[in-house]
């Protein structure tokens, strides 16, 4: 399975970014702090609901929001004309294959009829009354994360019950980490057992032998 396109909105340095992806290989090149790692983080969030090896809902901070979008919201509060709290949205468009038809729909910003999944980190309207009361009392100065929710959805518009519902299996290898030599055997073993069915594991052992 291939991701054909990635959309990122209001995540870290990216206010709005669309990345068409190649089928076989994608290489991101750029200066330090140009967003290479941020793209990989966005991919991790949308494909397996995780950031830095932890569920995204356990790491939600205002620092994840695009600085420009955050500042715009803060200024609107200061000026007395508050705009809607910003939303982070990450979408993965998937190639059209029959096995992913349950993820197919037009519930995406491009209006394309294709399979896909998305993560939305957004204000929960259930707390609108409480939020408006705090605005009136001038008790809101920054993005009110206590009123946010995270939605994990298919392009069909249906919720994915958990990251385990994702059709993706993702492995991230960070070569900047040290002491991989002490854990490489466990790393390989755990990933082989997690991502390969038993017949393929047997074939792999035979090939290795």
Give pLDDT tens digits for 36-83: 999 999 999 998 888 887 889 888 999 999 999 999 999 999 999 999
**Within this chain, do residues 52 and 134 fall inside the same structural domain, yes or no?**
yes
**Within this chain, do residues 185 and 161 fall inside the same structural domain, yes or no?**
no
Q: Find the radius of gyration of the CA atoms of the chain.
A: 20
**Within this chain, do residues 162 and 184 fall inside the same structural domain, yes or no?**
no
**Within this chain, do residues 98 and 138 fall inside the same structural domain, yes or no?**
yes
Residues 6+ apart with CB under 8 A from 145: 60, 61, 62
Q: What is the pLDDT of residue 111?
A: 84
CATH label of the domain that carries residue 99:
3.40.50
Tens-place pLDDT, residues 117-173: 999 999 999 999 999 999 999 999 999 999 999 999 999 988 886 656 566 667 776
**Within this chain, do residues 158 and 182 fall inside the same structural domain, yes or no?**
no
Q: What is the pLDDT of residue 177?
A: 55
**Within this chain, do residues 7 and 55 fall inside the same structural domain, yes or no?**
yes
Residues 6+ apart with CB under 8 A from 154: 102, 103, 104, 105, 107, 115, 116, 117, 118, 160
Crossing angle of helices 198-208 and 184-195, rounded to 10°: 140
Q: Which helix (H) or strand (E) holds 144?
A: none
Residues 6+ apart with CB under 8 A from 39: 6, 8, 19, 28
176 secondary structure, DSSP code: T
**Within this chain, do residues 97 and 129 fall inside the same structural domain, yes or no?**
yes
Tens-place pLDDT, residues 172-195: 766 665 555 545 666 777 777 777
Q: What is the pLDDT of residue 151?
A: 94
Q: Which residue has the higher pLDDT, 75 or 99?
A: 75
Domain count, the chain: 2
> Rounded distance, CA 11 to CA 156, Å?
23
How many angstroms separate the most distant Cα atoms in the chain?
71
Q: What is the pLDDT of residue 71?
A: 98
**Within this chain, do residues 168 and 192 fall inside the same structural domain, yes or no?**
no
**Within this chain, do residues 103 and 183 fall inside the same structural domain, yes or no?**
no
First to last CA, the chain: 29
- Compute the residue count for the chain: 209
**Within this chain, do residues 31 and 94 fall inside the same structural domain, yes or no?**
yes
Domain extent at residue 199: 178-209
Q: What is the pLDDT of residue 68?
A: 97
């Amino acid at each position: 399975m291939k991701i054909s396109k990635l959309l990122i909105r209001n995540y870290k340095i990216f206010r709005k970014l669309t990345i068409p992806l190649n089928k076989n290989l994608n290489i991101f090149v750029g200066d330090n702090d140009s967003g290479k790692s941020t793209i990989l983080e966005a991919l991790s969030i949308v494909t397996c609901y995780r950031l830095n090896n932890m569920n995204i809902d356990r790491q939600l901070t205002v620092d994840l929001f695009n600085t420009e979008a955050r500042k715009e919201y803060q200024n609107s509060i200061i000026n007395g004309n508050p705009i809607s709290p910003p939303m982070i949205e990450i979408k993965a468009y998937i190639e059209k294959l029959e096995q992913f038809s349950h993820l197919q729909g037009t519930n995406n910003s491009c209006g394309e009829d294709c399979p896909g999944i998305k993560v939305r980190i957004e204000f929960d309207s259930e707390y609108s009354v409480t939020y408006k009361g705090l605005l009136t009392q001038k008790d809101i100065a920054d993005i009110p994360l206590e009123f946010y929710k995270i939605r994990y959805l298919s392009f069909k518009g249906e919720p994915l019950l958990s990251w385990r519902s994702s059709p993706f299996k993702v492995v991230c290898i960070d070569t900047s980490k040290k002491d991989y030599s002490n854990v490489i055997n466990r790393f390989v073993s755990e990933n082989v057992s997690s991502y390969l069915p038993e017949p393929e594991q047997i074939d792999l052992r035979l090939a290795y032998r």
